[in-house]
């Protein structure tokens, strides 16, 4: 079977064109959306993602505010930058690039953010709102996955979804999104402690692999005709490797590949959250 491609690059380009119009309309009403980023340390992946975020901002007409700190920055220095962005009116939304170096307490940093400026939807208040079914900015990768499926007319309602990975940016929140009444999927969340991973993956109509383990999902685990979304990224000396083994692609009806699938959607959803936050300022909602 030749799987069809869930083309995140093309879908993200379409979303960015829509956002550019909305950013222009905001400017006409006196509000320039501005994205801040807080980046601590030298991780090449994190630097590349943050560069990408600011490139996207320039394309869409969102102002950029960058705060970079050295790898040995103290908790207090990071928190000072967060306080500064909370107070800066030019910054309508911002993110703290994760992961932070190990000596820093990421939860304390996230908690200090103004929830109304949380462009990642990772502040405890916003994650709590998601649990309660209230309006909140949504975490970018989960939101991007739902948007990618919707824009390709993939049936989510009633689907059996297997998520592999329990991280805070993807695994945990995607279960919350997909089980809302508007999505109505049934979600199994697997992780390193799951005893029968192949059994769970084999039941799934939609597989979301976000474990960061190269080639974890092999062809024999995949139900023929399933939808595969490869969210895992591991940097090796041979380049980037996803969680889905290339042979597994052959069994699927649809594949969001890595690269070019969910990653570009993560970036597009960050821009969407920033524009929406600025729109809320205009309407006062
Ligand atoms: N504060 C946050 N930190 C992290 C998040 C996040 O949503 N918020 N997610 C990831 C990193 N990330 C964005 O920050 C991200 C990851 C991957 C991509 C992407 O476009 N990937 C490409 C391939 C990678 C490459 O070319 O280097 C793709 O899949 O096509 C974008 C953003 C962890 N941290």
Q: Count CB atoms within 10 A of the CB of residue 277.
A: 19
- Per-residue 3-state assignment (H helix, E strand, C coil) for the chain: CCCEECCHHHHHHHHHHHHHHHHHHHHHCCCCCEEEEEEECCCHHHHHHHHHHHHHHHHHCCEEEEEEECCCCCHHHHHHHHHHHHHCCCCCEEEECCCCCCCCCHHHHHHHCCHHHECCCCCHHHHHHHHHCCCCCCCHHHHHHHHHHHHCCCCCCCCEEEEECCCCCCHHHHHHHHCCCCCCCEEEEECCCCCCHHHHHHHCCEEEECCCCCCCECHHHCCCCCEEEECCCEEECCEEECCECHHHHCCCCEEECCCCCHHHHHHHHHHHHHHHHHHHHHHCC
pLDDT at 284 over 80: no
Task: State if residue 253 touches ligand 1 by the CB under 6 angstroms criterion.
Answer: no
163 and 110 housed in the same domain: no
Ligand 1, closest atom to CA 98?
3
Last residue of a domain, one of 62, 82, 116: 116
170 and 67 housed in the same domain: no
In total, how many domains does the chain have?
Answer: 2
Reported as a single tens digit per residue, the pLDDT across 176-204 is 999 999 999 999 999 999 999 999 999 99
Residue 39 domain flag = yes
Question: If you average pLDDT over residues 73-77, what whole number do you get?
Answer: 98
Please report the pLDDT score of residue 283 as a whole number. 82
Categorize the per-residue pLDDT at 281 as very low, low, confident or very high, splitting at 50, 70 and 90: confident
Residue 233 domain flag = yes
- 89 CA distance to ligand 1 middle (Å): 26
199 and 254 housed in the same domain: yes
176 and 239 housed in the same domain: yes
- 73 CA distance to ligand 1 middle (Å): 23
Residue 282 domain flag = no
Whichever domain contains 212, its CATH number is 3.40.50.720
255 and 145 housed in the same domain: yes
Reported as a single tens digit per residue, the pLDDT across 127-170 is 999 999 999 999 999 999 999 999 999 999 999 999 999 999 99
pLDDT at 1 over 80: no
45 and 93 housed in the same domain: yes
Task: State if residue 94 touches ligand 1 by the CB under 6 angstroms criterion.
Answer: no
Task: State if residue 11 touches ligand 1 by the CB under 6 angstroms criterion.
Answer: no
Please report the pLDDT score of residue 150 as a whole number. 98
Given strand 63-69, what is the order of strands in its sheet? 63-69, 34-40, 93-96
Please report the pLDDT score of residue 285 as a whole number. 63
Residue 6 domain flag = no
111 and 147 housed in the same domain: no
- Residue 284 Rama label (left phi>0; alpha psi -120 to 50; beta): left
Nearest CA to ligand 1 atom 11: 49
- Could you tell me which residue, 20 or 284, shows the higher pLDDT? 20
Residue range(s) defining the domain that contains residue 251:
140-262
Question: If you average pLDDT over residues 43-61, what whole number do you get?
Answer: 97
The answer to whether the predicted template modeling score (pTM) of the entire model surpasses 0.95 is yes
Task: Find out whether 233 is annotated in a ligand binding site.
Answer: yes
CB neighbour list of residue 244: distance below 8 Å, 6 or more residues apart:
207, 209, 215, 216, 217, 228, 230, 232, 255, 258
151 and 197 housed in the same domain: yes
Nearest CA to ligand 1 atom 21: 263
Residue 128 domain flag = no
72 and 163 housed in the same domain: no
Residue 272 domain flag = no
102 and 155 housed in the same domain: no
Last residue of a domain, one of 83, 116, 149: 116
Whole-number mean pLDDT of the chain? 97
pLDDT at 222 over 70: yes
Question: If you average pLDDT over residues 31-45, what whole number do you get?
Answer: 97
Whichever domain contains 46, its CATH number is 3.40.50.10860
Residue 224 domain flag = yes
Question: If you average pLDDT over residues 77-87, what whole number do you get?
Answer: 98
Question: If you average pLDDT over residues 208-237, what whole number do you get?
Answer: 97
148 and 252 housed in the same domain: yes
Residue 102 domain flag = yes
Task: State if residue 48 touches ligand 1 by the CB under 6 angstroms criterion.
Answer: yes
Question: If you average pLDDT over residues 218-244, what whole number do you get?
Answer: 97
């Amino acid at each position: 079977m030749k799987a069809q491609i869930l083309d995140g690059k093309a879908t993200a380009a379409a979303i960015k064109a829509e956002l550019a119009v909305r950013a222009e309309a905001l400017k006409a009403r006196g509000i320039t959306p501005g994205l801040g980023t807080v980046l601590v340390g030298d991780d090449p992946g994190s630097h590349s993602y943050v560069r990408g975020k600011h490139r996207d901002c320039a394309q869409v007409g969102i102002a950029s505010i960058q705060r970079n700190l050295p790898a040995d920055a103290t908790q207090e220095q990071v928190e000072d930058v967060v306080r500064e962005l909370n107070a800066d009116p030019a910054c309508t939304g911002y993110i703290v690039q994760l992961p932070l170096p190990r000596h820093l307490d990421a939860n304390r940093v996230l908690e200090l953010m103004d929830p109304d400026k949380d462009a990642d939807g990772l502040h405890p208040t916003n994650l709590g709102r998601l649990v309660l079914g209230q309006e909140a900015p949504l975490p970018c990768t989960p939101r991007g996955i739902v948007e990618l499926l919707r824009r390709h007319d993939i049936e989510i309602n009633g689907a059996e979804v297997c998520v592999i990975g329990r991280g805070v940016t993807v695994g945990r929140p995607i279960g919350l999104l997909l089980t809302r009444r508007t999505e109505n999927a049934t979600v199994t969340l697997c992780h390193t402690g799951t005893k029968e991973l192949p059994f769970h993956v084999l039941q799934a109509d939609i597989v979301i692999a976000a474990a960061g383990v190269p080639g974890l999902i092999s062809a024999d685990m995949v139900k023929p005709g399933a939808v595969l979304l490869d969210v895992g990224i591991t940097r090796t000396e041979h380049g980037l490797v996803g969680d889905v083994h290339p042979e597994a692609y052959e069994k699927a009806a649809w594949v969001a590949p890595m690269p070019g699938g969910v990653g570009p959607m993560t970036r597009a959803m960050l821009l969407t959250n920033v524009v929406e936050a600025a729109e809320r300022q205009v309407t006062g909602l």
